[in-house]
Chains A and B, each alone.
Chain A
Amino acid sequence: MGEGFKRFKRQFLIETIIKSVLSGIALSLTVTAVLLILDGYEWISLLLAYILLIGVSSGILLGLALFFLLWRSDIKIARKIDRRYGLNEKIETMVAYRDDDGDIKELQRQDADSALNNETIKPEWKSIALTIVAFVLSIALLVGAIVVLQLKEDDPIDSPPDNTDPEPPPKEEFEATDHHKIALEALIREVEESNLQDSAKAPVIAELTLLLSKLDEIEYMEDMKTYVISSIKNVQGIINTVNTTYAFYIYAEKSSNAHLKNLAYDMYSLSVDATVAELNTICTALIEDKTKGEIISLKDELGALLKNSKMPSEDKLCMAMQEIFDVLLAISEDDTYSESYITTKLDSLLNTDTPKKIREILPTQRLNEDVKIHVVNELMRIFGLTEEDLKDESQGDDTVTDEPEGRPEQGDDGGFGTGETLFGSNDIVIDPKLEPEKDISEIYVEYGTIIGRYDGKITEMIAIGEISEELAKILEKYFSVLTTPKGE
């Protein structure tokens, strides 16, 4: 084969290598960029250098493969030369008959070689240029993909959504302040100085003290809420335990006896007058019942309640209920069905110690209830809890938000009073002008009759600066929601 053809063949080889390598790298970089974009930039968690190394290496391998695809036999190279230089099939004929004898074929070979030697090698600029453009575009595509990735990392809002679960929001931190501690300590002192029943006072103080000790350990708001709500539940539980009217009410609710339910409600409302009045009503109804059916029914229900509620026998309420039960039992066991006997027996209920016991126990438990409400409200205020927080925690648990359902025949005016709205609240409270020699049954008054005095006192203390600004706002708001007392 002539030197001319070898020269052109060498040129073709160089062009093929260049095109193969550039095309291979361009192809692999393009695929890398497309995968980066489609995969949501997850790949970029690999080091970028590795990605480029993989892309370039696979590009070179692809290039080698492309080389064997693009490389041509001598005949095809000769054909390309003929077409590129307009040599009218001289070179292809030369290559096809390179091994043949013959004078004309020898002449033909010489003529073809001479034609090649007279030609200047012209690289196939068009295809080389296209290859270079493809290579540059592939680099631009990859760089663009990486730049977009960087921008997306800086702006997390625009980050493409992924299919995994969203990260949980960071926990809100909690730090116990002096306000928390001071307020809690003040609450503890209030409980100590209160008229809370002794059997409940120590446990309540212990509960609040425990909460105080844990404050510095609490790191997050949700933990704080858990601890405080737990304390609230414990305080409610402690006081509900000593307030046997609560237990009596809970069990009476399950009864089918209307008299018992009404009696339980009135006692749970801690209304002495209502309780005594209901007792009168019961006795009257029982006397009118000629068949003793009501008596027996009430006796059975009351007996079951006393047994199931497990009220302490020394508890005055329990003692009072026991006395009622004994009377009803006696009537039930009497075979004479004497109306006078029944009347005598039931009247005795109203004129013995039973009402007295009731009048003693209800105010005491009323005080306990007041302390319970005060402690709960204070804890909520100190730690910024809302009714919603308590409701969330009280799913299935009536302790935190326990309120009586209300007597069917009585309107729900709120509070624990007789239902006759005097002034803002019907609650029974201890008269601030209590005189020591007064009977305990006379120390409780309707809150509405003395609220004016409280309001006045508070206003005086605010004016002279004895109450902090924060507390003053709370108190002013408290009194402002109540209506002006009549005559006060």
Chain B
Amino acid sequence: MKQPNVENIEKVKKFSETVSLIKTELRKDVVGQNEIVDNIIIAIIAGGNVLLEGVPGVGKTRLVRSLARTLSLPFSRIQFTPDLMPSDVTGTNVIEKDADGKMVSSFRKGPIFANLVLADEINRATPKTQSAMLEVMQEHKITVGNQTYKLNEPFFVLATENPIEQDGTYPLPEAQMDRFVFKLIMEFPSDDELVDIVNMTQITLDETANAVVDGPTILEMRKLASQVPVIDDIVRYAVNLVSNTHRELSKSPESAKKYIKYGASPRAAQALITCAKVRALINGNYNVSYEDINALARPVLRHRIKINYTAVNEKLTVDDVIGMVIRETSKK
């Protein structure tokens, strides 16, 4: 058997420490929201994008900006409005005079050309603009005219949805929602957290987090995480969890048959395993466990399944239904 690379082993052992450093810096600017921070870090390392739902003023922009500082990654914010055009996101060719005074066409990059992008209120943009954004998220490149522009890695999009103002919005279709690895719900901070927020922002509104890692380090971490072993039983468990959300399958549990209208796509199983590997390393483990899968089930599945009116009538949330499916899958 090949002898292990000592340097790599050291990097693996440092994985958890590195993430701890990131969290420590982020806490300088973000109060509370520990689970949101953990999952966003997991998503970045795993190479996925996150859909964040939260009322205005809970710190979504601050979080992403602070994260960009900590990771030493360029950040941009796109405020989506109904009149936003796709070219406003991706960039466009413009005609301008060069140094010689000649009129030349040059590509003016859009705000998407950053490593960390905050797509604020994505549901306010038109479907055309949404799809342009989502295509970039999927491909990590932009084609304008004959030219293709690759985006820098790591590329991470945090899209937000305003759950309050639904008038005149264009909710993302389920097929588009599937491109986000997580959907996270940013709760209103507790009173104590709010006190801390108020006190902190009295001192300065600027982010004070320091850079502790860079883009290449994140990419290395991503590569290391992909090597974390996962046994077949756990892969099968993740698959069962996803397939059990489909009520049309005979083996699906009673909760799915009763409360779910549409089930999750196969991307959910991929997301579960990929993100579980990252989570295992973050927690200092070198293998994926059932606990990792169960902990990530809600963020991965809540935007990929649709509950029916029976669940709504019984005042059940999508997280409640996911919990039932987890319990029934674990028993089997």
Chain A residues with CB under 8 Å of chain B are 88-90, 92-94, 96-97, 99-108, 111-112
Contact = CB atoms under 8 A, between A and B. Distances in A.
A93 B231 contact: yes
B4 A90 contact: no
Interface in B1-35: 1-2, 4-5, 8-9, 12-13
A93 B287 contact: yes
B287 A108 contact: yes
Contacts of B300: none
B8 A103 contact: yes
B85 interface: no
A108 B224 CA distance: 13
A282 B159 CA distance: 151
B235 to A, nearest CB: 11
Given A96-B231, A104-B229, A105-B229, A89 B287 contact: yes
A31 to B, nearest CB: 35
Contacts of B12: 103-104, 107
B289 interface: yes
A107 B5 contact: no
B289 A89 contact: yes
B234 A107 contact: no
B278 to A, nearest CB: 12
Nearest to A104: B227
Contacts of A101: 1-2
Nearest to A97: B229
A75 to B, nearest CB: 9
B285 A90 contact: yes
Nearest to B281: A104
A400 B290 CA distance: 105
B283 to A, nearest CB: 9
Given A89-B234, A103-B9, 8 more contacts: A89-B289, A93-B229, A93-B287, A100-B229, A101-B2, A104-B286, A106-B9, A111-B286
B288 interface: yes
A94 B231 CA distance: 9
B228 interface: yes
Nearest to B277: A104
The B interface is mostly helix, strand or loop, or mixed, namely loop
B182 to A, nearest CB: 22
Nearest to A75: B231
A92 B285 contact: no
Nearest to A90: B287
B140 to A, nearest CB: 26
B233 A92 contact: yes
Interface of B: 1-2, 4-5, 8-9, 12-13, 224, 227-234, 285-291
Contact of A103 (B4, B230, B287, B289): B4
A88 B286 contact: no
17 contacts: A88-B285, A89-B231, A90-B285, A92-B231, A97-B229, A100-B229, A101-B1, A101-B2, A103-B5, A103-B12, A104-B229, A107-B9, A107-B12, A108-B228, A108-B229, A108-B286, A111-B286
Contacts of B2: 101
A19 B289 CA distance: 31
A94 B229 CA distance: 9
Contacts of A88: 285, 287, 289-291
Contacts of A102: 4, 227, 229
B229 A96 contact: yes
A108 B285 CA distance: 8
A103 B9 CA distance: 6
Given A92-B233, A93-B229, A101-B1, A107 B290 contact: no
The residue among B12, B234, B287 with the most chain A CB atoms within 10 A of its own CB is B287
A88 B229 CA distance: 13
A206 to B, nearest CB: 104
Q: Closest 7 CB pairs between A and B? A: A108-B286, A93-B287, A88-B289, A103-B8, A106-B4, A89-B289, A104-B227
A140 to B, nearest CB: 37
Contacts of A111: 285-286
A97 B228 CA distance: 11
Contacts of A97: 229
Contacts of A108: 228-229, 286-287
Contacts of B227: 102-105
Contact of B290 (A89, A90, A94): A89
Contacts of B289: 88-90
A108 B229 CA distance: 8
A341 to B, nearest CB: 129
B332 to A, nearest CB: 16
A96 B230 CA distance: 9
A92 B235 CA distance: 13
A77 to B, nearest CB: 14
B5 A89 contact: no
A112 B4 CA distance: 16
A102 B13 CA distance: 14
Nearest to B226: A104
A172 to B, nearest CB: 78
Contact of B13 (A94, A96, A105, A107): A107
Nearest to B230: A93
Nearest to B5: A103
B321 to A, nearest CB: 26
Contacts of B224: 104
Nearest to A99: B1
Contacts of B1: 99, 101
B286 A96 contact: no
Contacts of B233: 92
Contacts of A103: 4-5, 8-9, 12, 227
Contacts of B13: 107
A100 B232 CA distance: 15
Nearest to B15: A104
Nearest to A110: B286
